[in-house]
Structure 1
Amino acid sequence: MDVSTFIDPAAMAIVGGGTLAAVILRTPAADLARALHALRVLPRRRFSAEPLLLQIGALARIAQRCGVVALDRTVITDRDLAAGIAAIVDGAPATEVEILIRDARRTRIERHVVAADVWAAAAEVAPAMGMIGTLVGLARMFASIDDVSAIGGGMAVALLATLYGAVLANLVLAPVAGRLRAAGRREASERLRIEAPLVALAARETPVHQLRSAA
């Protein structure tokens, strides 16, 4: 089979360019940037809260031995955990730490949903662009009906545009959206596991920290 038979620059430009233009026009720039940035998640391993739970345990032991203020000197790469520990060090009560961590988790969920929705919207647009390409190809074919040599070019655009739209939507864009949604659900579920240990640490250390500050 000659692969070049399935390559038509005009059909590619209509489907690819049309899909890109439609997504850009209907998506705020911040959401579009978030969707592109989310592609970094795809090659990574599934998110697990185990390293964070181990780190919380280690931080709890440090706080017990050296005081909660010592946690301010620890290196924490996860932003949500770092924000929770910073609140505990500042003497925030357990209820405030719980609200902070929950809000951070919800914000992450919203970002994941937005990114997945952008790719899902692109998957919806691509077949429509394929149909537009088909109409363009048919119009080109009928416009040159008297020129037998030009009919093949119009027919190629008409058929391949539909093919490109279906392939782009079902083999590229929709799978990306699905994997981003799955990754978002996984991360949201895993991050839920760190709330209770952080709240427990805050409940244990905050009264002690407040007493030391008052003294």
Structure 2
Amino acid sequence: MNPEHLLDPVSALIVVGGTLLATVLRCGMGDCLAAAQALGGLARRAFDPERARAEMAVQVQEIRQDGVIRSRPAPTGDAEFDEATAMLIGSRCLGALRQAHAAHKRRRVEASQRAVRTLTQAADLSPVFGLAGTLVALNQLPPLDRPEADFSVAISMAVLTTLYGLLLGNLLFTPLARVVARRASDEERDRQAVIDWLEEQVADALPHIERSERRTGRVAEEALS
């Protein structure tokens, strides 16, 4: 098999260009930008909970030794943990820590859902434009009453557009949507583990009423489980 026979710029333009244009029109630029940002994030290093704990270790040690009242926020480079620890120190309660974490989590989940939804739409539209390219190719067939007519170009284009649509949807957009979803799920799990660890570390440095509320919350959670 000659690989050059699988390359057709016109077929690729119809399928790829049509899929991208239809995705933008259907999902909007905002969701498409969210998808592009999520894909760009795949090239960066995934969230490392051990590194996050190490970066917060000095802050945690200060809180445990000097108490939350005398502690000062120390930047770690992570926007969520910087805001969460600042709110914890400022309010001297775990509720503020959880509130900051929940707000950041909500924004991350919304962005990842928009990205996955956009990539899924693109995966669904790819075979549609493969079929559209096939119809365009069949429309280019020469009349049957011409003895010198060459059907090979139109038939080749019809086959390739169908192939491009299937490959684009099933080997590119669908796997990318799954990868983005898995990366987001793993990050939320790891971030929650860091937040739980942070709560455990600083609980004894909080005012007595906050510790009592925390124990009460734990008892309620255990009863519900």
Same fold (TM over 0.5): yes
- Contact 1:113–1:184 (8 Å) recurs in 2: no
If asked which structure has higher relative contact order (CA below 8 Å, sep 6+), I would say: 1
How many residue pairs get aligned? The number is 207
Counterparts of 1:131-142 in structure 2, within 5 Å, are 131-141=131-141
* 1:69-114 Cα shifts (integer Å, max 9, x gaps): 5532x23111111110111232252112212212322321221121
2:211 maps to which residue? none
Deviation at 1:66, TM superposition (A): 5.1
- Identity among equivalent positions (%) equals 26
1:86 maps to which residue? 86
Matched, 1:151 2:154: no
* 1:182-212 Cα shifts (integer Å, max 9, x gaps): 111111111111222333456544549xxxx
2:164 maps to which residue? 164
Richer in helix (by share): 1
Distance, in Å, in 2 between the alignment partners of 1:148 and 1:49 is: 69
2:75 maps to which residue? 75
- Contact 1:137–1:155 (8 Å) recurs in 2: yes
Distance 1:93 1:158, change over 3 A: same
- Contact 1:32–1:118 (8 Å) recurs in 2: yes
TM-score (norm 2): 0.81
* 1:142-176 Cα shifts (integer Å, max 9, x gaps): 56873745522211221100010011111111111
1:176 maps to which residue? 176
For structure 2, the 5+ residue unaligned runs are 209-225
Distance, in Å, in 2 between the alignment partners of 1:145 and 1:12 is: 30
Counterparts of 1:1-215 in structure 2, within 5 Å, are 1-65=1-65, 68=68, 70-72=71-73, 74-141=74-141, 146=146, 148-200=148-200, 203-205=203-205, 207=207
2:221 maps to which residue? none
For structure 1, the 5+ residue unaligned runs are 209-215
What is the alpha-carbon root mean square deviation over aligned residues?
2.4
Distance, in Å, in 2 between the alignment partners of 1:195 and 1:6 is: 51
